[in-house]
Structure 1
Amino acid sequence: MYVIDYMETGNPSDRHFEHRNQPLVQGVGVKYFSLLEATPLPAIRIDILEKVELGPHSKVKHIIHITYDDLTSVARANLPEAVKRIVLENEKIFTEFFNIADPINIRLHALELLPGVGKKTMKAILEERELKKFENFADIKERVRIDPVKTLVERIIKEITGSEKYYLFVKPRERGVSEIYLGYLERLHGEIF
């Protein structure tokens, strides 16, 4: 996970009692953009925007899932930069999204859910990928004239806040009747790895 806030003395307003008076980190998972809260190990210093492994040799313990509403203002401010770093580190996966995105229904294409992508841009993306698959972000930017990183980051942040009808990348925490999860990250991780 990428750490988006580190509270050395805890968070007195945290809804989890154990996090109110002991060190606490908030972060975003690097694979599926899960929002996480954890306790750093004793005598461990963690920096904001540091990438922390979550395996057996992790610097943190007691990892729990949280919602966007649980994030501190510092964590919310650092979230876009952390998401941007994740997108850039996974350029191959996110480039592939532009190559495989499908229509959602007869009136809406998955690409149209990206900020700044309307019918005209979507048509350009589809025509360009028909000629030749996109190879990387620079290729997308050059051939279609959009900034794929900025567009993806904006979309992922919208999905993390939980205010969307369709979810391309982030699985909604509280799935209601009106939310539709399209699961592109599972598809992309399965195809590429």
Structure 2
Amino acid sequence: MSDTSSTDEEFAVVLDFLAHGNSGGRFGGSPVAYAASIDDFTLYELELEADADISILDHVRIRPDFEAGIARGHVVDYEDLSDGARSELDYVVEDIVDEDEQRFVDFYNDAQPISLRLHQLNLLPGIGDKLRDNILDERKRHGPFESFDDLEDRVSGLHNPREVIIDRILEEIQEDDLKYQNFVGS
């Protein structure tokens, strides 16, 4: 998660736009957008003003105050998203990871033990103790990883480190009962 104070700007990517609102939503017939924050993938339902010029994939400010055209908003769970927002989420997460690759490569560089028996790297899909040890040994011997390609080249057995991160982010967004979250805000 990002270390931002309450005065820093934060943006979200619009996942879906419903011009006539969500029939079961709390904003009635007002136009609604669903968005995912770029910093910590928090999901939002945003009530839009009638004349809002907001489209799918737009980056909108959500903090310290909402972008012009957004009347109000609140945090929602994955289950509360529209079908369109759910289908767009995978692509938006991929784009966020690609746009700020170093942030996610640094997870591999900075991951630490959670307890005596569990390491942050073990929370990533497909990373068991042996692969975790390979990653830790490689970063200790040869320094931080520079990119996903660098990770894949230097760590034997680690295939598609970008997709591993994306899969974990999507898992954290979709699952309410995960004990540990590395990427998604609570």
TM range (shorter): 0.7 to 0.9
Q: Which runs of 5+ in 1 are unaligned?
A: 173-193
CA distance in 2 between counterparts of 1:56 and 1:107 reads 42
Deviation string 1:1-32 (CA, Å, 9 cap, x unpaired) is: 11111101000011x1xx22111000100111
How does 1:1-193 map onto structure 2 within 5 Å? 1-14=12-25, 16=26, 19-54=27-62, 55=65, 57-130=67-140, 131-144=142-155, 145-161=158-174, 162-172=176-186
CA distance in 1 between counterparts of 2:94 and 2:75 reads 21
Count, aligned residues: 169
The structural deviation recorded for 1:57 is 4.5
Residue in 2 that maps onto 1:179: none
Determine helix, strand or coil for the equivalent of 2:35: strand
CA distance in 1 between counterparts of 2:168 and 2:67 reads 32
The structural deviation recorded for 1:123 is 1.4
CA distance in 2 between counterparts of 1:45 and 1:56 reads 13
The structural deviation recorded for 1:53 is 2.7
Structure 1 stretches of 4+ moved >6 Å: none
Scaled by the length of structure 1, the TM-score of the pair is 0.80
Instruction: Report 1 or 2 for greater relative contact order, CA contacts < 8 Å, sequence distance ≥ 6.
Output: 2
Scaled by the length of structure 2, the TM-score of the pair is 0.83
More helix by share: 1
Identity %: 34
The structure-2 alpha-carbon separation of the partners of 1:58 and 1:39, relative to structure 1 and needing over 3 Å to count, comes to same
Q: Which runs of 5+ in 2 are unaligned?
A: 1-11
The structural deviation recorded for 1:58 is 3.5
